[in-house]
A and B are shown apart, each in its own frame.
Chain A
Amino acid sequence: MATLIEHSSILIIAIPLLAAFLTPLIGMASKKARNVLVMASLAFVALLVFALARDVILNGIHVYTLGAASPGLTTPGGGVAPVRIILEVDAISIFMGITVALVSLVAAIYSLSAMKGETGQNRFYTLLLLMVGGIFGMVFTGDLFNLFVFLEITSISGAALIAFRTRSADSQEGGFKYIVVSAVASLMVLFAIGLLYAQYNSLNIGALAAAMQYTMLDKIALVILISAFAMKLGGVPMHMWLSDTYSVAPVSITVLLITASQASMYALTRTCFTLYGVTLDSAAVGWIIIAIGILSMFIGVTMAVRQTDITRLIAYNCVCESGFMLVGLGVGLAVLANPEALAAYGITAISGAIFHMINHALFEGLLFLAAGAIFYRIGTRDLNQMGGLGHTMKFTAILFLLGALASSGIPPFNGFASKILIYQSVYQFNPILTIIGILVSIITLAVFMKAFFAAFTGASLPQYKGTKEAPKTMIAAMTILAVIIIFFGLFPGLILDGIVRPAADALVDQSPYINAIMGAIP
């Protein structure tokens, strides 16, 4: 077991990648065997993630150096600089890992029914596993260039999956937009990495953080990295691609796309808190992130309430929820150089934002899966065409309502637990931000009441009289998310103390991350 945990960080990335290449081969022989391979590999990866999480929380940062005589040997031959590819898993990385593991497993279970009857399933599962491997790579790597590589793997597989339904022009357009936006963001990230490499001769995040001088070039690199990751996570005004892509992808893939956006949020926080840390002008950068967050919250929710396509409506709500996270992280960053404010409310704002990341993936995932179940049964996403589906799709209706209440921050669900942390901590920084947040939550409730009443309530429409409930595996996948949402809602203290606070502490103090690579700095 100890050996397994020692190599777990690379196994968590390698298993989905290897399974991705095996999937088409096994799929040619047997579809059942292929599905078993996909499910077994993701379930095993989830187990490894939980085992690694326990190890990281108990024993601290997990470092894995590829090709070294020992995984912990980061600077070979007594050198002073790390030269190999290094994976570095701290509390925030493993927090993201848990989110990815849960969501990818649920997405795969849901896909078993949702993709039944579709052609090209071998390619679908290959791409799904590649995307999962890419996201894990993004959150586990300790190397900036590898971050770029994994960002590319995630983007390319994501674009192919969005455009998977080749018969639909919307899907093709969505895939095209996603690849263009991703390519622009990735190339700018690569350019920023080049600026840093040119100055410090290193690509390792820990080594770069130790050497960071915050020069003019560093500032330019910082602006590029913030803008690129903000675009990838759908921050306003760079959010427009998000509704065009989330709404047309197969919903199990949309759930993974949410996780990919969360990985970009992780990359943004890793850049600001760990790579630049105390060297940057945290108040100015914090306010830039808060501004993007506030715009995302307000424009996201007001655009959502206007939509009549149920998946576009949820997609705009994703933009809005990302805004909450950005505001929490921005406030934490703005007071990073002020220890008193950081202790008084900054760390709580960061904790709330981190907690909201996993909550967002869970409840938006549930909402998308429920919307996908409706589309699977009635073949439309248009709310103007829907009505009375609650008569026949009772479970789907209840699960959608649960996701909607969680997203709107209604107690006792998980969304409330993370939002109250953000509201109360941000209030101490600037009350206006909290007032906007509460107003946005109220409009979010209005958004989902519109969607729920239009789709599920009212008299049973004649064209949907014979509609059946969603297939059992779809219901099972949605129920898993619903159970986690309720659990997180009822026991928020357990999640906060167990995985969220350690993740927030890992962000605000960059020295353990640097020391794990460079050795203790005297």
Chain B
Amino acid sequence: MTSIIESGYEFWNPIIWLIAFAVVMVIVYFFRRQGQEKYKKGEAQAQIFLCGEEVPEAEQRQVRGGNAYWGFFETLKEYYGGIIRPHTGIVNDYVIWFIAVMAVSAVVLFIVELAK
């Protein structure tokens, strides 16, 4: 079977997943069909705010990319402060990081060699 991959731990077959997905979709469709059929366009039920509050213009109600996950960034403020600082945009710094990685890798290899 060309769809199956085995990791030596268990297997993965996307065709079985697709069949399961299709069954779930049919069930979802069935429940959706049970909903209200007498939907009328252009009336109060189609408004964003049922209370009748005026809907802002498209530009004002658009959630911009920069506003997403505000809480996540606020919680991890210290982590981001530390991680953004080395991203200086200066190419000299990029080369220093390369030298640092080379030095640390060499030290690790030689310590391991000495420990043997």
Contacts and interface: CB of A to CB of B under 8 A. Distances in A.
Interface of A: 176-177, 180-181, 184-185, 188, 219-220, 222-224, 226-228, 230-231, 237-238, 240-241, 244, 281, 283-285, 287-288, 292, 299, 302-303, 305-306, 308, 344-345, 348, 352, 382-384, 386-388, 411-412, 416-417, 420-421, 424-425, 427-428, 446, 450-451, 453-455, 458-462, 489-494, 496-497
Contacts of B10: 424
A288 B21 CA distance: 41
A450 B2 contact: no
A188 B102 CA distance: 11
Contact of A284 (B7, B102, B112): B112
B25 to A, nearest CB: 14
Given A181-B91, A240-B97, A411-B14, A224 B102 contact: yes
21 contacts: A176-B91, A177-B94, A219-B109, A223-B105, A241-B94, A281-B109, A285-B109, A288-B109, A383-B64, A387-B58, A412-B14, A421-B5, A450-B68, A450-B69, A455-B65, A459-B62, A461-B58, A490-B3, A490-B15, A493-B1, A496-B5
Interface string B8-33: 11101011011001000000000000
A281 B112 CA distance: 9
Contacts, number: 170
Contact of A384 (B2, B14, B65, B86): B65
Contacts of B66: 308, 383-384
Given A284-B108, A308-B66, A240 B94 contact: yes
A2 B113 CA distance: 50
B100 interface: yes
B98 A494 contact: no
Contact of A428 (B9, B64, B101): B9
Nearest to B110: A219
A458 B14 contact: no
A453 B63 contact: yes
Contacts of B101: 227, 230-231, 237-238, 292
Given A228-B98, A281-B112, A453-B63, 9 more contacts: A184-B95, A219-B113, A223-B105, A388-B62, A417-B14, A427-B9, A455-B65, A490-B15, A494-B2
A299 B83 contact: yes
B3 A421 contact: no
Nearest to A387: B62
Nearest to A303: B83
Given A176-B91, A383-B66, A417 B5 contact: yes
A302 B79 contact: yes
A496 B61 CA distance: 47
A223 B106 contact: yes
Given A184-B98, A281-B113, A284-B108, A344 B61 contact: no
Contacts of B105: 223, 226-227, 288
Contact of A493 (B5, B84, B86, B88): B5
Q: Which of B7, B66, B110 is most buried by chain A, counting CB atoms within 10 A of its CB?
A: B7
A352 B61 CA distance: 43
Nearest to B64: A384
Given A230-B101, A240-B97, A412-B17, A425 B5 contact: no
B94 to A, nearest CB: 5
A462 B59 CA distance: 8
B69 A305 contact: yes
A461 B62 contact: yes
Contacts of B61: 458-459
B65 A383 contact: yes
Given A227-B101, A387-B62, A305 B72 contact: yes
Contact of B7 (A184, A185, A219, A348): A348
Nearest to B99: A227
Contacts of B73: 306
Nearest to A243: B87
Contacts of B2: 491, 493-494, 497
Given A292-B101, A345-B8, A383-B64, A490 B14 contact: yes
Given A241-B91, A281-B109, A302-B83, A461 B8 contact: no
A451 B69 CA distance: 12
Q: Which of A181, A230, A352, A459 is most buried by chain B, counting CB atoms within 10 A of its CB?
A: A459
A454 B64 contact: yes
Given A180-B95, A424-B7, A493-B2, A417 B12 contact: yes
Contacts of B106: 219-220, 223
Contacts of A459: 58, 61-62
B58 A458 contact: yes
A362 to B, nearest CB: 16
A345 to B, nearest CB: 6
A9 to B, nearest CB: 28
A352 B64 CA distance: 36
